[in-house]
Structure 1
Amino acid sequence: MTPPNRPQAEPRWSLVGPGLVVAATGVGAADLIATTVAGSKYGYALLWAVVAGCIMKIVLVEGAGRYSLATGNTIFEGWSTLGKWTSWYFGPYIVIWGFVYGAAAMAGTGLALTSLMPFLGVPAWGILSGLLGLALVWSGRYDLFERVLTAMVILMFIAMVLAAAATLPNLGEVLTGLAPMIPDGAMINVLSVAGGVGGTITLAAYGYWLREKGWDSPRFMSVMRIDNAVAYLVTGLFVVATLIVGAELLYSAGIAIGGGDQGMVDLSRVLGERYGPWLSKLFLIGFFAASFSSLIGVWNGVSLMFADFMGHVQGKPHAHPDRLAGGRYYRAYIVWLTIPPMAMLFLGQPVLLILAYGVLGALFMPFMSVTLLWILNTDRVPAEWRNKPLTNILLVICTLAFAALAVDQLRSSIMRLF
């Protein structure tokens, strides 16, 4: 705490802040494949959806950050003022989501490393990745976590931008994709591209990372907004690069790739055949960086959210150690993300668990946008920091878009069961 007779330091203006952390954590291999597939199907026609997705995520993350800075409360404390129903939704969601995501994150990272170094299989590399993530975030040191994630972001960006540059994109055609249009049958692709830019539950972790960074009062509001906008500008450029790869490399040649993480391996193979093995290897390094950055981001950020949730429902004070990084609930959730899901790397994915994960997960983005609309327009926030009309309009658009995507995800989850 700053002594009373010493002026507080000015906010440290940095382009590498919690915004880049939340954006990079949210961009995993599945999002890259969704964008690449969209490029392979429709060329540049959905480029505008990438821009729309960045704007939506900027609005949502800014809202979460504004609430935290304006009130000094965490986002879960804000949700809890809306009624106990938020805890009844969030509690099961974060537990089920963590188990399934832990397996998916380790499998994705393991697949990337197996493609680069095939002397170990996906389960072994996945387990090693999960344990490394556990070790990196166990202490709760934000500065170490941020440095590692920044290195991963640099690798991601270099790999994808070089892959896009190698395809020699036609800039004129790229620009035509900024005109909003929805090709026949492309609505779900539009929603997937827009919704996949920069994360889901990790958006809500932004306020926690602001606190870890030391940005904890309204005087940091301006730097938070710049941090958030710059982060999603970088993320947008990164996702645009993936769309270019899909449009130039796959769309023009009529090449199809697999879904999920395997699609990234397929894409690296196509790059290697077209431009040489060096680009294939570089792309796989970028694939690993995207997967591992998401892994460690969740291992840290969602564990902070779980610790806050557990401490709050037990009535512990806001700054109680159990609700902070390095506390027992924080570490318990890291273990939950890492150890039990290892079994799924060998035993497959239980259908009912995947169904519950799909249902609860599909509802999260509409949940977040609706609750932000509710919280940020009431006296839960000081008047000067409440929503302006444009923000409300954009949040309503976010709600409608994510509700439509949720309906499709729910339909897909139920179809898996039958």
Structure 2
Amino acid sequence: MFRFLKNIGPGPLVAAAFIGPGTVTVCSLAGVRFGYSLLWALVISIAATIILQEMAARLGLISKAGLSDAIRSQLQHPFLKIVTLFLIVSAIIIGNAAYEAGNVTGGVLGLETIVGSGQLQLGSRSYNYLSIIIGFIAFGLLYIGNYKFIERILLTLVILMSLSFLITAIVTKPDISAILKGIFVPNLNEDTILDVAALIGTTVVPYNLFLHASLVNTKWKGEISLKSVRLDTYVAIILGGLVSMMVVITATAITSGEITNGADLAKSLEPLFGSYAKYVMGIGLFAAGLTSAITAPLAAAYVAAGCFGWKSDLRSNKFRAVWALVLIVGILFSSLSISAIEVIWFAQIANGILLPVIAIFLLWIMNKKSVLGAHTNTLLQNILGIVIVLFTIFLGTKSILKVISNL
């Protein structure tokens, strides 16, 4: 086990990125509303994530370039290149800045479950100093610029998060037969369609494709490592999927009270299973918020570096400027207790449009022998990729319509 943990690569960062407060909230609501019956949607989402992330990792390993670098180099028409790269960098940076507020707030909610409120009244305005504390932790880790150190910290947090959610799920004494039914028997109707779309949408994350392709060469070099890269990807994403399932299973035990986020779920556990369950869940939520608060700015910086042709150096001023901007926006919205609903709506629209576009570009790149040589997609990989592209178009449309209906 020690040897395995020592040799794993950026896969856990991908898992850390998609298991954030948003995922915890979506999974909590799915469990409260529909019990175990939507677990099958998480199985599908994990399968889709594995397929796309394997392509992104293979691209980064073989071409030694990130996804945004590959898109920039393969688009020959100047106008099309400028428009495409502008849309990608704008959507990723603005979208991640919006979601960063949710990541920091999620970490704060987890801490408040454990230590109490972090509100500080200064004059007529209330500030949350816990947001600033979490922001400083994320800022410090990113500013150090040591990828291996960041990787170890995130791996520790992912393990802590996984154990926390696993323990709380076991405490609820779930019905194993009902869980198996929820995994293998799809339940899709008018009542569940949006929750299914949300469960899949919160797992198949566009910026993770850029992050994975950019980071894969920090651990491995060349095609000889392809088997190890795939194992790392599969294990990490499956672990992330199991964490999501644990949250759904935990939330299924809640029969009363209003649940709107992971913190509400943690507090609702106390009268049923004792105060320790609340604290363990709070630790998990804090870890989920902090890991996503680190990976979202990092991914935005890698996207910007690839689109503008910068060197992807964690200690370069340009690279630091991008992640710092995303992080500062998140801290600002979170610490001032400003509602980020409108901003997050915009981010959902951007991601709803961006996800199928990025999936199409990825599939296009993965079939170019000039980029991947003998490691282009197989027929089966292309078929699976096309199915995912079609579904992401459906998912993106649903997301946009949902946001518009709430305006």
Q: TM-score, with normalisation over the residues of structure 1?
A: 0.87
1:151 aligns with 2:156: yes
User: Aligned to 2:321, what secondary structure does the other structure show?
Assistant: helix
- For 2:227, the equivalent position in structure 1 comes to 222
- For 2:391, the equivalent position in structure 1 comes to 401
Identity %: 24
Sort the Cα spacing of 1:176 and 1:94 in 2 relative to 1 into closer, same or farther, 3 A. closer
| Residue 70 (structure 1) shift | 1.7
Distance 2:5 2:265 in 1: 38
Distance 1:404 1:188 in 2: 11
- For 1:7, the equivalent position in structure 2 comes to none
Residue ranges of structure 1 left out of the alignment (5+ in a row): 1-10
| Residue 27 (structure 1) shift | 0.8
Distance 1:197 1:354 in 2: 17
- For 1:358, the equivalent position in structure 2 comes to 348
- For 1:324, the equivalent position in structure 2 comes to 313
Distance 1:361 1:103 in 2: 16
Residue ranges of structure 2 left out of the alignment (5+ in a row): 120-126
- For 1:344, the equivalent position in structure 2 comes to 333
Distance 1:54 1:273 in 2: 33
- For 1:160, the equivalent position in structure 2 comes to 165
Distance 1:308 1:324 in 2: 11
| Residue 325 (structure 1) shift | 1.6
- For 2:98, the equivalent position in structure 1 comes to 100
- For 1:4, the equivalent position in structure 2 comes to none
The number of equivalent residue pairs is 390
The answer as to whether partners of 1:27 and 1:198 remain within 8 angstroms in 2 is: no
User: Aligned to 1:202, what secondary structure does the other structure show?
Assistant: helix
Distance 1:13 1:33 in 2: 29
- Residues 334-390 of structure 1 deviation map (CA, whole Å, 9 limit, x = unaligned): 220222444423272477644432321212221221111111122343342111122
1:45 aligns with 2:50: no
| Residue 161 (structure 1) shift | 0.6
More contact order relative to length (CA 8 Å, sep ≥ 6): 2
| Residue 32 (structure 1) shift | 1.8
| Residue 16 (structure 1) shift | 3.1
**Of 244, 248, 263, which aligns to 1:243?**
248
When the two chains are superposed, the root-mean-square deviation of aligned CA atoms in Å is 2.3
- For 2:123, the equivalent position in structure 1 comes to none
- Residues 80-134 of structure 1 deviation map (CA, whole Å, 9 limit, x = unaligned): 2234132121122133123312322222222222232225227311122112101
User: What is the letter of the counterpart of residue 164 of structure 1?
Assistant: A
**Of 185, 198, 202, which aligns to 1:196?**
202
The answer as to whether partners of 1:100 and 1:354 remain within 8 angstroms in 2 is: yes
Distance 1:271 1:350 in 2: 27
Distance 1:268 1:353 in 2: 26
Distance 1:342 1:369 in 2: 30
**Of 273, 278, 283, which aligns to 1:275?**
273
**Of 14, 20, 30, which aligns to 1:28?**
20
The answer as to whether partners of 1:22 and 1:198 remain within 8 angstroms in 2 is: no
Sort the Cα spacing of 1:35 and 1:347 in 2 relative to 1 into closer, same or farther, 3 A. closer
Q: TM-score, with normalisation over the residues of structure 2?
A: 0.89
User: What is the letter of the counterpart of residue 196 of structure 2?
Assistant: V
The answer as to whether partners of 1:16 and 1:150 remain within 8 angstroms in 2 is: no
